[in-house]
Amino acid sequence: MAKKDDTRRALLHAALSLFGERGYDATTTAAIAARAGVTEMTLFRHFPTKASLVVDDPYDPLIAEAVRARPAAESPLRATMAGVLDAWGSVPPPDSAAVRERLRIVALTPSLGAALAAGSRATEDAIAGALADRTDAGSARIVAASVIAALNTALLAWSLGDDPDPGTALRAAAHAMDAG
């Protein structure tokens, strides 16, 4: 497992370096793989698309569980936003510079809009499923989409600034939605 994690980290590091040097659109997956010292096939075993190098995250199950664990008396919106903040507080702080760089690439690369939307849809699905016992499916989807839109907007804006704490963006989204 350690070798797999090392390879994944090497690919992410190579991708972020090359995206910084050449830009996202001008960087090929072959160049990323070569920089990481692996084959392009290996890159695709770890990341199904080039976009997944910057937009994928492993947090959906954690967020869904945190939303489910919120008190039943909370509104779906408050439970979702508080669940997101709870989930954030339960993971080790990420490397803020790496998070900022990934999000900055997304913020500055219009061609990544579809990949961000697809990743957001997966998170919305996880949240909507977690809200199933609180509200109807349509309302759950609306709440999930609203929270994800607020989080994406706040995180992308954060990536273009110099605040060292990505949690600031999450708290700003919660405050703006009057749910945190």
Please write the tens of the pLDDT for every residue from 57-95. 878 899 999 999 999 999 999 999 999 999 988 877 777
pLDDT digits (tens, 9 = 90+) for 132-143: 999 999 999 999
Same domain flag for 25 and 67 = no
Are 55 and 69 contacting, i.e. CB atoms less than 8 angstroms apart?
no
Residues 90, 61 share a domain? yes
**Domain interval for residue 155:** 53-176
Categorize the per-residue pLDDT at 12 as very low, low, confident or very high, splitting at 50, 70 and 90: very high
CB 157 within 8 A of CB 169: yes
CATH of the domain at 130: 1.10.357.10
Distance CA 96, CA 147 (A): 22
Whether residue 95 sits in one domain with residue 12: no
Calpha distance 61→90 (Å, rounded): 13
Both 101 and 113 in one domain: the answer is: yes
Residues 8 and 86 in one domain: no
The reported pTM is: 0.85
